Amino acid sequence: MNGVPSAPAVSTPLDPDELSDEWRCSANDALTFRLVRPSPEKESKERDQQVEMSNFHPTYTHQLWDDEEIVGYKRVKALVAFTSGALYTYLSVDYEAKCPDTTVPDIQALIGSKLRGGFTTDWDDFKSHVHDPFTPPGTLLSEYSLPSVDHSGKDVITYEVWHGHFTDPTLRAYHARLQFFLLFFIDRSSFINDSDPVWEVLLLFQKRVSPAARNGSGGSVTTYHCVGYTTLYKFLAYPDEWKLRLSQILILPPFQRAGHGQKLLQLVYSLAEQRRAVEVNIEDPSPVFQMLRDLTDVNLCRKHRFFERSAGAAGGGDGDAATHEDPLEKWDPAYARRVKACLRLTLAQVRRCYEIFKLNSVSDRHRHSKAMTAYRLEVKARLFNQEQEVLSLYSHKPEQRKEKLAEMYNELEQHYLTVIKKARLH
């Protein structure tokens, strides 16, 4: 029987949310970052073997994948490698299989869209750039040394901070490569507008000086390796004063927990003092950054002998410290203004430092001592006034509001106790 031919069957794309676990994997585990640097210790005829590699995984991937999960692929392995100085970038993505009849994002295209400084997919091309000479963009601003922790055989390693603006095209191009890391190590971060000339950039590098004997030229070779960075800008504080506002500080994972974040923040405070800015303001600090900030500010207060309990040594070293026999007895706005003016802290940060030092002075006692009870009431009163936006949600539920306030206090106390431990205030 003759008739109209039937149309070919059209497959309906599968909903990625309905895929089984075999088509899912952790994005944090699947994605690897690698810093590649020339190795002064390795003597090899093969130039590409004269390298050192540091591998690490992201902390966050939710800005690329919902729920930090790659869906629609089996056994994904993605690698983003950078030369440790110039940050020349290589990207590769491998997977065992891609689920048919699904519409899922292309992994390489997704990662590549965030690599604003460009990248190569040719490993041989990438290796050819590992030994390229590199000098940081901008102007050398400061340097410091820290004890070696990488078994290099040296007692100390030198670190340099370079400064510049986005009006410098070389620095702007370098920042375009470096800011990629923000998305994966600072929660809720975003790229800043690098066309705005108001921004300043502080770039932190490890500096290595090694013999040049392998090429027969004698002398030495200096190489620079990216450690981290921060961005900042100044803004007017009405009517005629200036403040410095700091964005997040990023220290790359291979260099974390070595004190570099504190060094950068201390340098920003020094810049504020040199420029006569009245304070350093930080926009929306992450919990990790708040810990860094509290630890740095507590150490600055201790260095300048603020909030010392002993009579005659209660703050500032300016000759009239003895007028404050006990700066921890109660919150003193006049004393706080002195701390703010000296250290360029915000008043809110001075208050946190006061509470940290005061907790340290009473926390060794019994949890139910009068001093500890008075401390809890003082901090809760401050939180009650400061967190009205949140607590007002419980305005008709007094018991729940009380529980929420207690929860806020307990979280803050645990944070303070961690600062006390890290700062070794005991």
In a domain? residue 2: no
Backbone angles phi, psi at 313, to 5 degrees: -140, 45
For residues 230 and 318, membership in a common domain is answered with: no
Respond yes or no on whether the N-terminal peptide bond of residue 5 is cis (omega within 30° of 0): no
User: How much is the pTM?
Assistant: 0.88
In a domain? residue 10: no
In a domain? residue 292: yes
Specify the pLDDT at position 152. Answer: 53
Domain end among 269, 284, 299: 284
Specify the pLDDT at position 395. Answer: 81
Beta-carbon-side half-sphere exposure of residue 291 (alpha carbons within 13 Å): 15
Range of the domain at 391: 286-426
Specify the pLDDT at position 9. Answer: 45
Each residue's pLDDT tens digit, 248-294: 899 999 999 999 999 999 999 999 999 999 999 998 899 999 999 99
Give the CA angle between residues 286, 420, 295 to the nearest 5°: 40
For residues 65 and 107, membership in a common domain is answered with: yes
Specify the pLDDT at position 149. Answer: 66
Which of 140, 74, 142, 138 is CA-nearest to residue 104?
A: 74
For residues 29 and 80, membership in a common domain is answered with: yes
For residues 181 and 278, membership in a common domain is answered with: yes
In a domain? residue 3: no
For residues 349 and 406, membership in a common domain is answered with: yes
Backbone angles phi, psi at 287, to 5 degrees: -55, -40
Q: For residues 191 and 116, give the distance between their C-alpha atoms in angstroms, rounded to a whole number.
A: 10
Domain end among 127, 155, 179: 127
For residues 175 and 194, membership in a common domain is answered with: yes
**Coil vs helix vs strand at 90:** strand
**Coil vs helix vs strand at 331:** coil
Specify the pLDDT at position 4. Answer: 44
For residues 312 and 403, membership in a common domain is answered with: yes
Q: For residues 158 and 208, give the distance between their C-alpha atoms in angstroms, rounded to a whole number.
A: 7
Specify the pLDDT at position 309. Answer: 78
In a domain? residue 375: yes
Mean pLDDT per 10-residue run, the chain (426 residues)? 45 68 95 91 51 93 95 96 98 94 89 97 96 96 86 76 97 97 94 93 94 63 96 91 93 96 97 95 91 98 91 44 72 97 97 97 77 95 93 88 95 97 92
Specify the pLDDT at position 237. Answer: 86
Domain end among 284, 311, 326: 284
Specify the pLDDT at position 56. Answer: 97
Specify the pLDDT at position 283. Answer: 84
Specify the pLDDT at position 320. Answer: 41
Q: Amino acid identity, residue 314?
A: A
Specify the pLDDT at position 48. Answer: 52
Number of domains in the chain: 3
Specify the pLDDT at position 10. Answer: 44
Q: How many helices and strands, by DSSP H and E, does the chain display? A: 12, 14
